[in-house]
Amino acid sequence: MKPFINKTPVLSSSLLNDMVDANIVFKCENFQKMGAFKMRGAANAILSLSEEERQRGVVTHSSGNFAQAVSLAAQKLGVKAYIVMPENAPQVKKDGVLTYEGEIIECESTPQTREKTASRVQKEKGASFLHPSNHDEVIYGNSTAAIELLEECPNLDVILTPIGGGGLISGTALAAHYFSDNCKVIGGEPMEADDAFRSLISGKIETNDSVNTIADGLRTNLGDRNFPIIQKYVDKIIRVEEDEIINAMQLIWERLKIIIEPSSAVPFAAVLKNKEEFKNKNVGIILSGGNVDVKNLPF
């Protein structure tokens, strides 16, 4: 994977550390190629295909970041990419797909329609389907962000990630299990799309009736490949309100001087909400991406 991804920087802020009385390091996947950790999983998944499979192309459905990741990874490997996107996906993410020569097929903004449309394209084109989060090779690719973080900061007590479809947190949980001594993994999730939180309680994959959250990358559900990993290796999930997400996002923009999207702010919002839990600990946070519409900021 190394020729296809960036080894992203790890940043910290003494001001943010003082706010929570902890040592926080941020793994900045907003500096990843195409602007999000999704490049890792997409590159690994396409590299894992046979030459014959690559010639028939790949198809995925995504609200934006995985769409761009598959498009870019496919472009670099000379593979045709068909991208099913909900019609309300941010324009900045649609533009990214087109820049990387992905072919967009728009559909209604429901998980069922996305899957149905991708399945149709898969049959018509003979393309290999790459799920954004519920795919083994995608999960393994995603795990490399936490592996890099643990190589640089081996003394972490906990790593937090956002949780949407479950592809990042399951990869992170595997990385922490196999590449650290005793590092816990905690998920941050919007209250308005708390299916993962409820899934851990019920023991089965839950869905959301509505996904009215600013964290547009976290509006998806867990899958049967990542949910068992999450059940086994993720310590807990902390839910946060919309105003807490916006506040955390603004603090990172102001203090770290970097651009992140709302989904990336969710785990930091979880730390701010539960300061006592993280007091005096070495905390790693994976900032999942920076593909934000700067003309439509919440602050």
The identity of residue 273, as a single letter, is: K
DSSP element (H, E) containing 105: strand 103-107
Contacts 24+ apart (CB under 8 A), 98-101: 99/71, 100/34, 100/68, 100/71, 100/72, 100/74, 100/75, 101/71, 101/75
Catalytic residue among 27, 33, 38, 93: 38
β-pair partners for 190? 240
DSSP, collapsed to helix, strand or coil, labels residue 20 as helix
The identity of residue 64, as a single letter, is: G
225 by Cβ neighbours in 10 Å (0-12 / 13-18 / 19+) ranks as middle
How far is it, in rounded angstroms, from Cα 16 to Cα 1? 33
CA distances to 168, 172, 193, 238 from 198, rounded to whole Å, are 18, 20, 10, 11
Question: DSSP string of 238-295?
Answer: EEE-HHHHHHHHHHHHHHH-----HHHHHHHHHHHHTHHHHTT-EEEEEE-B----TT
Confirm whether 50 is a catalytic residue. no
Confirm whether 63 is a catalytic residue. yes
Catalytic residue among 33, 62, 63, 71: 63
Catalytic positions are 38, 63
